[in-house]
């Protein structure tokens, strides 16, 4: 689960990390009022969307006067902000953060992220933080340092010394940096985060560190333990079809491929995606209809998947354990009637009442329904249909 910059900064502040004074605004009037209440005479107006790279897309702007705050706020609110991290048509800016502009002498990069391959927490630091960190990583890997922390051992002095040595900080700055790192690690562990990225972490002209940007993401499977984090969820930032699926108790994640999948059970859904990949295709989604799959939830699954314009074929792979295959077949036939299926559907039903289910589907004699018995054959056929359609 992701949160906004202003929310992440509130957490940083709570743990004693310096952040610039700032206020949230939903209108240009509120933006003006916020600026009046803040210190200084220069402000930074920052679009609050769940995506980075805002500076490059026009979502971070400096205002040198109160009237500029008002006009920038007017332009920014409601705009569709396109950054390298947003969907192609951007994300609508519904709120902005008005922040005191700081006097920056240096921008560095610091992040903590879960490293699945190494099975530990990876601290990544760069001497050159700011808006072009991706290029730095590509062109100047020597400016980037990675230190892995085994969560069983925790963050120790040797990890911190390693990073301080890399930055070649003075003694005074080393102490300050060390405090920040310890606090970030504490947030990471105590809140079950899987990413904390401070880019940039800046040094001001007075040699103080400030977190000028903050990105935080939390483990979806652990967030139930943190009601204060759950309260920060912003439904406007979620993929609408994923929210809708959740309401119907479907576990749906939209992906970029063209073969839609309807499967029961998360493990089987993952395996189905692997098999589609193996057959040379790409899944358009992950979808687990769950153990309580019924005709209505299957119909809902079709509705959500068919709304995705990328989908060129659908592979239904159901293993009937508690779920009865004939009920699923009923759901498929209902959906077929409702949506006048133009998209080829490949169906593999195995387990409880699968023979009855197959008979129901076959005798319906619907043009676009293809019943298969074997998983690999099914995946190959679904991929074949998806690719054929792509060529048209
Ligand atoms: P993003 O990473 O989404 O582009 P940032 O919050 O990192 O957005 O802002 C982009 C750049 O704008 C920063 O690298 C920094 O140079 C500048 N900036 C952001 N906030 C402030 C601020 N409060 N004072 C001065 N400069 C700022
Ligand atoms: Mg940034």
What is the secondary structure of 70-110 as a DSSP string? HHHHHHHTT-EE--TTS-TT-EE---EEEEEPP-EEEEEEE
- Check if 197 is active-site: yes
pLDDT at position 3 is 97
Per-residue pLDDT at 392: 47
Ligand nearest to the CA of 22: 1
Examine the residue annotation and report whether 109 is marked as an active-site residue of this protein: yes
Atom 15 in ligand 1: which residue has the minimum CA distance? 130
> Taking CA 43 as the corner, what is the angle to CA 42 and CA 46, rounded to the nearest 5 degrees?
160
Looking at the CA of 108, name the nearest ligand.
1
Q: Say how many Å lie between the CA of residue 146 and the centre of ligand 1.
A: 23
- Residue 4 CA to chain centroid, in angstroms? 12
Residue 287 CA to residue 301 CA, distance in Å, equals: 8
- Cα separation, 118 vs 105, in Å, equals 35
Q: Using alpha carbons, select from 327, 390, 382, 330 the residue that is nearest to residue 353.
A: 327
Q: Which of 5, 99, 107, 197 is catalytic?
A: 197
Maximal C-alpha separation, the chain: 80
Among residues 236, 238, 234, the alpha carbon closest in space to that of 253 is found at: 238
Ligand 1 within 6 A of 130 CB? Answer: yes
What is the predicted pLDDT for the residue at 291? 73
Please give the distance, rounded to the nearest whole angstrom, from the Cα atom of residue 211 to the centre of ligand 2: 10
Site to substitute for ligand 1 among 7, 34, 50, 55, most atoms within 8 A of C-beta: 55
pLDDT in tens, the chain (392 residues): 999 999 999 999 999 999 999 999 999 999 999 999 999 999 999 999 999 999 999 999 999 999 999 999 999 999 999 998 888 889 999 999 999 999 999 999 999 999 999 999 999 999 988 877 888 888 888 999 999 999 999 999 999 999 999 999 999 999 999 999 999 999 999 999 999 999 999 999 999 999 999 999 999 999 999 999 999 999 899 888 888 888 888 999 999 899 999 999 899 999 999 999 999 999 999 999 887 777 888 888 999 999 898 999 999 999 988 888 998 898 888 888 877 778 899 999 999 999 999 999 999 888 889 999 999 999 999 999 999 855 54
Pocket test of ligand 1: the residue of 213, 215, 216 to mutate, having most ligand atoms within 8 Å of its CB, is 213
pTM given for the model: 0.80
Closest residue by Cα to atom 13, ligand 1, is 130
Tell me the ligand closest to 51's alpha carbon: 1
How wide is the angle at C-alpha 343 spanned by C-alphas 337 and 348, nearest 5°?
Answer: 85
pLDDT at 242: 85
Is 326 a pocket residue for ligand 1 (Cβ < 6 Å)? no
Q: Is the CB–ligand 1 distance for residue 107 below 6 Å?
A: yes
Q: What is the CA radius of gyration of the chain?
A: 25
């Amino acid at each position: 689960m992701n949160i906004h910059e202003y929310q992440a900064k509130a957490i940083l502040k709570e743990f004693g990390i310096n952040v610039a004074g700032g206020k949230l605004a939903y209108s240009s009037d509120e933006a003006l009022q916020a600026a009046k209440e803040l210190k200084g005479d220069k402000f930074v107006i920052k679009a609050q969307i769940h995506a980075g790279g805002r500076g490059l897309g026009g979502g971070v702007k400096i205002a040198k006067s109160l009237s500029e705050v008002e006009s920038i706020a007017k332009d920014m609110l409601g705009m569709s902000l396109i950054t390298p991290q947003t969907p192609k048509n951007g994300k609508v800016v519904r709120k902005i953060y008005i922040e005191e502009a700081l006097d920056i002498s240096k921008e560095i990069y610091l992040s903590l992220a879960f490293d699945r391959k190494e099975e530990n927490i990876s601290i990544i630091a760069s001497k050159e933080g700011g808006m072009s960190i991706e290029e730095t990583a590509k062109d100047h890997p020597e400016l980037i340092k990675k230190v892995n922390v085994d969560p069983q051992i925790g963050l120790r002095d040797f990890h911190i010394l390693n990073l301080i040595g890399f930055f070649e900080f003075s003694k005074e700055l080393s102490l300050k940096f060390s405090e920040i790192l310890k606090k970030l690690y504490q947030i990471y562990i105590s809140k079950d985060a899987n990413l904390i990225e401070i880019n940039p972490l800046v040094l001001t002209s007075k040699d103080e560190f400030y977190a000028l940007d903050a990105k935080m993401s939390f483990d979806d499977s652990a967030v139930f333990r943190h009601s204060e984090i759950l309260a920060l969820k912003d439904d406007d930032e979620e993929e609408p079809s994923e929210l809708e699926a959740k309401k119907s108790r479907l576990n749906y994640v939209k992906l970029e491929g063209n073969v839609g999948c309807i499967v029961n059970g998360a493990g089987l859904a993952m395996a189905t995606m692997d098999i589609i990949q193996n057959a040379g295709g790409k899944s358009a989604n992950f979808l687990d209809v769950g153990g309580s799959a019924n005709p209505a939830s299957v119909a809902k699954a079709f509705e959500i998947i068919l709304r995705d314009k990328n989908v060129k074929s659908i592979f239904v792979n159901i293993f009937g354990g508690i779920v009865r295959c004939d009920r699923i077949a009923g759901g498929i036939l209902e959906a077929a009637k409702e949506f006048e299926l133009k998209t080829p559907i490949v169906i593999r039903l195995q387990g409880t009442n699968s023979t009855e289910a197959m008979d129901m589907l076959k005798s319906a004699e619907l043009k676009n329904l293809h019943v298969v018995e074997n998983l690999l054959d099914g995946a190959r056929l679904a991929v074949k249909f998806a690719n054929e359609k792509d060529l048209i």
